[in-house]
Amino acid sequence: MSAAPPPFESGPHTRSRGLPGFWQRISEGRQIDELWSQFTADARASYGFYIKESGADADEMVNKRGRPRFGHIIKTLFWSLVMKLTPARRVILIIALVLLAVSGMRFQFGKDVNFDFNFTIISVLLFVLLLSLELADKVTMKRDLEIAREIQSWLIPASPPAVPGADIAFATRPQNSVAGDYYDAFFPTASAEENGKLMLVIADVAGKSIPAALLMATLQASLRTIAGEGAALHDLVLRLNHYTSAHSLQGRRFTTAVIGEYDPATRRLTYVNAGHNPPIVRRPGGTTETLEIGGLPFGIDAAATYETGETNLQPGDALILYTDGVIEAFNEKGEEFGNARWFEAVRALPDWNAAESLQFLMRRVDEFVKTTRQSDDITCLVMRCK
């Protein structure tokens, strides 16, 4: 058998092998339909972002007959995009567009004097310059976000604790590199063998990305500190609300949360719902119970009071905690997944362990959303009682 030719050997087959390799590199092995789906999802998300950033009303984008006003849409998108650039880059963009517009124009003076303007190459070079500058900013920001994401990963549990008579699974999907969602499951003052109570937490800081992630980190630190002091659940919630109110920018950065204490010995769950999506207890047979007792989100009113709720969990029960990113996930038609579909998925939950139950629920969301880019952080925690 003859030896294979070296990778860069010249010859008649170099081109046929080089082009597939080039395509493999830039497409990362994805098929055309995958690339198109990704492009349409990105285009749809970018359109929504720039329209939202422009402050334009959705009604302004259509005429009286309900048809799109393409001229107005293009103008809105253009100015929204341009104003995201620095002043110097705006000038470069305008110059590049003007040079591109006048390229190819021909002016004739008399019978023998012609002037042709062709600035296409200069325009392309200016566009490439702008692209390289924007990409450099993006790479720098992405590097910083990756560091922030790594730090944030230290604040949330990598694996669930061992709980007598129950098992736990959780998952989170940030919209960006970092998230404003927070989940936790830990024994604050004692191990399970010493009959300690399990602390269950899920929270959602208003906003997204870095600001929300920073507030999430302070919330986690405060919660862990107060819980470690052995404070009762009601006192813990009041102290946490006082702290959050002092750092909420006059209520603009509030936090919804559910904080619960689960006693493995008695299977009793005591909880406070601070304006969060109510957790669901799914009983054997498909009946459900929602945990809604509590009060206002943290950070709105430092003097707010909170009620404490209780429920008993039995073998076969499933406790599902989640953030609003789950029910507000939408598909390519703009339809939300919604509470009805979520409760339907919960009622259809098979008698599986926590990890399999979590996968089942997240698969239902994925099947609905498909390739649409998520618009919010998605977090879910499942505890199954044995």
Q: Residue 206 in contact with residue 212, Cβ under 8 Å?
A: yes
Q: What is the mean pLDDT of the chain?
A: 84
This prediction has a pTM of 0.70
Question: Is 96 strand, coil or helix?
Answer: helix
Cite the DSSP H helix spans in the chain.
14-27, 32-54, 70-82, 87-102, 120-155, 209-228, 233-246, 324-327, 338-347, 354-369
As a whole number, mean pLDDT of residues 154-167 equals 87
Give the domains, in start order, of the chain with CATH numbers. 14-149 (no CATH), 157-385 (3.60.40.10)
- pLDDT 10s digits, 41-99: 777 777 777 777 777 766 677 777 767 778 888 888 888 888 888 999 999 999 998 88
Judged against a pLDDT cut of 90, whether residue 241 lies above it is answered with yes
Smallest CA-to-CA distance from 178 within 202, 212, 139, 155 is with 212
Cα gap 197→358, rounded to integer Å: 23
Confidence of residue 1 (pLDDT cuts 50, 70, 90): very low
Judged against a pLDDT cut of 50, whether residue 27 lies above it is answered with yes
How big is the chain, counted in residues?
Answer: 386
Cα gap 337→367, rounded to integer Å: 10
Higher pLDDT, 322 or 211: 322
What is the per-residue pLDDT for 213? 78
- pLDDT 10s digits, 169-223: 999 888 776 667 889 999 987 654 465 899 999 999 887 667 777 788 888 889 9
On the CB side of 197, CA atoms within 13 Å amount to: 20
What is the per-residue pLDDT for 177? 65
